[in-house]
Structure 1
Amino acid sequence: MNITAKVALRMIPDSLATQPIFLCVDDTMVAKTGTRFENVSKLFDHAAHNGSNYLNGHCFVNIMLCIPVWKNDRVSYLSLPLGYRMWQKKESKLELAASMIRQVMPEFQEKKQAIILCNSWYTKQNLGSIVDEYQNLDLIGNARIDSVMYDPAPAHTGRRGRPAKHGKRLSVETDFAFSNEKIGDYYIGAHRVITNLFGCREIQAYVTATEKEHGTKRLFFSTIFPEDLQIFCACQEKEPLNQTGSDRMKYIPLFLYSFQWNIETSYYEQKTIWSLCSYMVRSCKGIEMLVNLINICYCAMKILPYQDEQFSEYRTKSVQEFRFELSQGIRSQIFLTNFVRNIETHIKSNVIIKALKQLIRQQVY
C-alpha cells in the first residue's frame, strides 16, 4: 500500500500540490462456491442479486487513494486502490479500515489536506476518532439519518456551575433550512452541529432531500469546513464543483463526497476485467496475496499513461481499451521473440532476421 501511495504522490503536478487528496473506504463481497476456502461464510449483502440478501463468500475491506491530475485542462481525480484486507471476524471492518489508514498516513505527512470519504457503515466513532490523530486528516461521510445532533455549546454566561457542553437537540425535519432551489437533484440544508461520533468537536452537517416537505432525506457529516478547503472549484472536471458560485461555497464538502463513487467503479473494473473474484487459492494468506497482486497490476496500468508519454493518449480512454492494447503488445512481442529464436536454420536469412529485429524494436519503443 505504501509503495503505491508514494508513487501516486509523486505524480501530483506542482500546480495541484495544494489540492486535497481523498482516501475512500468501503468493502466488497466475493461469492465463492463450497466451503473449502478458508474463512468462507454466509455474509449479508444488500446488493446481492441471487434472490437472497445473503451470499457464501469472502468480504474484503479496501481503501482507495484519489489524487488530482490535469486532464483536458481540467482537474480530474485519478483513483488508485491501495490494498485489500480480508475480514476474518477477529476484528471489525471499522478496525480494519482504521489500521489501513494508519499504515498509509505517514506517506501523507507533507500533504496539507487528506480527507476520508465513507458511507454510513463506516461513519462511526471507531473510524471518526482517527481524524484527531493527524492534523491534516479530515472525514466526510454519509451518516444514519437518526444520528443524534446538537447545536454548538452556547457562550459561557459567567454564572456559577458547569457550562453547557452543547445546545439544543436538532432534528433533520425542522432545524435545517433548505436551499431555495435544487442543487443537482437535491435541496440541501447546512448546519454546524456537535455529535457524539466526534466528541465535543464542532462539525458541519448536511441534509439532502428530494422534496422539501416529504422527500427522502439523507444526512452527511464533514469535519472540515468550506472555508478551510483549498480546492480549485472552477477547474474541476466533475459537476457541480465546476459550477460553484459564492452562494454554493458552503456546500463544497458535500459535493466532494461524490468522489466516493469512484471506489464502486474500481470494484466493477477489477471484478469484470481483472478477474478479482476468480481466485482458486484456499488459504486466507494466499488469497490476500493474490488479490493484492492483481490490485498492484491494476494500479500500475492506471499509472502508466501518466508516467510514460508513449501511453499518454490512454489517459482519457477506458480501462478495457488500455488493457486490451497492452495485452496485444505483450503477445506480439512474445510471438516475435520466440519466432526469431526458434526459426529453422535452413531458412534463416539476414533479410528475414533484420526485418524481424526491426519489428521487435518498434514494438518495444
Structure 2
Amino acid sequence: MDQVSALSEGGSIVFYRTRKTLAGLVCLLFVFAAGCGGPAETPQSPGPGKTVVIATIFPLADIAKNIGGDRVAVSTLLPRGASPHTFEPTPRQMEQVTGARVLIQVGAGLDDWAGKLAGVAGKDLLRVAVTEGLSLRAGGHQHAECAGHAHEHDHNACPAAETAAADPAYGFADPHVWLDPVLVRDEIAPRIFSALCQAAPEDADYFAANLESYQAELTVLHADLTALTAGFERRSFIAYHSAWGYFADRYGLVEAATVEEAPGKEPSPGWIMKVVETARAHQAGAIFAEPQFSTKAAEVIAAEYGARVLVLDPLGGEDIPGYDSYVNLMRSNAAVLAEGLSRVD
C-alpha cells in the first residue's frame, strides 16, 4: 500500500494518498497525541473557521490552496519580483505570519529567512519544509562536463562546479524541488496535506479528496510535459541560475551552465566567457533569463554565443497571466523551453 512519512515539529505522521477515511483517522490520532489549536485571526481576515496558511513562495501557496480549498486562507511571503535566495523579511512579512497556523517553506537553504518569522506566529505554528526527507540533487548542478571536475575542484574548467562551491546557501543541495511535477505529486503535495490535517483534523476527509483530485491533475501535467519535451530537437540550455535541474533530470534535458555565478552575485567577464564556451560545447538552444533578475548578463552571453534570450519564471504569482497557478506556471515554462529548444538554426 502506498504511504508517505511526513516530518513536523510535533512528530511523524503516516497517511495514505488515496484513502480518505484512513487519512482522516490518522489526522485525528495525531491530534490526540500532540494537540492542535484552532484557526486564528490574521490581518488578512481569513473568515471564520478557516485555517491560516503562509507559504514562502507562490508555487507552494498554490499547492496548499488546491488541497485546502475553501477551508484555508493562504498567502505568500515572498513579494513579486524578489528572489528567495537573497530576500530579507520586513515588518510586512512579520504582520503576515501573525496568527498563522501553518508555515510552508522549501528548506534546504533556499528560504531559511522564514525562521526569523516563526517566533512571531506563536507556539502553535506548524512549520513544514517540503525538502525534509527528500533525496536532493547534489550542489544544484548535474552537468556532464563537470562530473570529473567536481571531485578535482577544477572550477576553471567547470562553471557549474564553481557555482556549487561558491554558493553556501545551497549547502551543496539543490532546493528547487517544486519544478519537478512528479515530486510535487508524490512528495510535496502529501507533505502539505499532512500539515493541513494536523492544523484542522476535522477537515481531513475534505483535504484528502482535494489531494486525490490534484494529484490526478498533476499526473496529466506530467504526461503532457513528457510528450512536449520528447519533441525538443536540442536537449541542452543555459539557465539564469541553477533552478531547473530537477525539471531537466525528469524530462531528459541538460542544464549545461548558469548565467549567475552565485545568488546575488553579478557574473564576472571570466565567468561569462566560460558560460559561452559551455554553450558552444553543448550547442545550447537558448539562454534563459528570469524575471526576478536583470537580463543584462544573459543578453551579453546570448550576443556572444549567437542565441536568443527567453524568460523562464520559476516562481510565478497569482496576478501574472499564464503563471497564476502552479500547473499554469509549469505549462508556460515548458512552452518557453519548447520555443528555445525545438528550433534548429
TM range (shorter): under 0.3
The TM-score with structure 1 as length reference comes to 0.26
Between the two structures, name the one with larger relative contact order (CA 8 Å, sep ≥ 6): 2
Question: Larger % of strand: which?
Answer: 1
